[in-house]
Structure 1
């Protein structure tokens, strides 16, 4: 019952491919269903002969001649069956053009196939990172979908149920990865799918992409700026607004009472400056004076700031996720209700 060809049989019968993507920096010992369309399998769960792998980079590299240049560019990665199947693997159904797999016009066609499949998996992995990773501890972050850590290349297997055969292609896609720590224990981890069909679902997905970017940022300054950008997006996805309005929108999601609302307003003065604290906020010093967060605060102070921003983002994003089947008007009405409950005068 753990065979993805059985689980995704309906999609495969309609012509979709079964795709397997490596996933590094994770611990998993049994198949773990992450969503309706994404399952994580432990290393060496699959046997190459079960999926009838007819082409893979290391094999193509050993062949004396091929007129298929894109296939030879994939072959140059040298990815072997042992390396591919020795990784934890994500399984998902994907739409592909089989001609592009067999006879691609360029190597970039193969890279795009891997990228599209990885992007589909990343939608769920963004949710995993949001719920199970820590902004101030990159050690537990899982790797990017499709990336083979030891080889430094991305790879994907594409299996045809009709022909009962599969191809592994590979190439260089990922430009940087987190290397500290061992990654995330994903044993028996399970997530609910997003509510489907609403405008807010799409906003939440983009917000989670921005959140993952903050988690994987290279230093505290980059994390700080990414989180500030995310707060602005969550305040108003369609138009830029001054921080004076942004902080009020975010605070009405986060605050439990008027006292906490005032505390958040004061915190944003420290974070960004306002008319009462001109040119003194952290973001002003970073953007306009070229300073780094590391220049302005001690390590403990930076951690406290990032945790507070993480909380502001986290609570607001959770409100979006819970209302994923709604439109933006629902978020607007919710904010008005929260303002009323907090005793804040409408604008």
Structure 2
């Protein structure tokens, strides 16, 4: 049986709606509520759970001990969840709740069992709730629980909340920083470690260089990489251009946002590094792999491969699912010898569209040499590769 103390609120004198403001552990709350099952573009009121979003919430809490989210998750019982007068009349599997008034100031105790699950809907905050529940430690969540709200009311609340929600304008962020110069460094650190991008104060490059989960952690070649063990191997433009490609490829997909794109980029390149056992200590041995044109070419190719998988299947695919991204990436990078990434390419001037095509063409030729025969041996995979032909030009 679930039981919480809270305050019963009737916001206006004439509204029939009442909600209880309560606090409970996220791991417990997910046991008795779920999102409405139909997407808003099909006439429903809640969007599907997106892995990248709830993982971003989890990452936010693990990035810094000080990070908290004080805003409430909004949940509603359908009217089929009945009110019973006495706690003694309440059963665990019953679609019912008991509301006990503890004083004349609105303090109440609400009790219910797991029987409410199928009729208890998360109107707003499903990703927050899921992310918090996936942490290794307990996190308390403030909840506004409507004790009875029909589908129409839930739809109205969802649309109202999401229509009013806006990102903080960049100008407001700048004004905040201007007024509090002393907090700039600390604020930037908090934002980047939580993978939150806010203009110049926590750029895409900051996130990829300073977030410990980033495949390019401490490896970006730019002035803000001040780590004592910085390697400065990855060009900032390689990250920026690759992220732009992902944004362009997936911008029309439902429920995709900045978090999804960053998560896809993280997953692609973390998977590639794991494939070859690349660590911070060994990354400089794979110079070809982390060249600017290579990063851009591979990212774009995998993005296109993901889109083709979506187009050429009858199954539903969630592109924010890291397992799916890993599968596509592993399939592409498999059987490419690590020597291909280590042995310096003779061909220069690759930082062009034509150069990136050559990289992808040679990768395709290597794959064919392994997949269409009994398997290449020795240096056979290097035969007919353009990248190992001298042309005397210099790379941009």
Q: Could you say which TM-score interval applies, normalised by the shorter chain?
A: under 0.3
Higher relative contact order, structure no. (Cα contacts within 8 Å, ≥ 6 residues apart) = 1
Structure with greater Cα Rg = 2
Could you tell me the TM-score, scaled by structure 1's length?
0.26
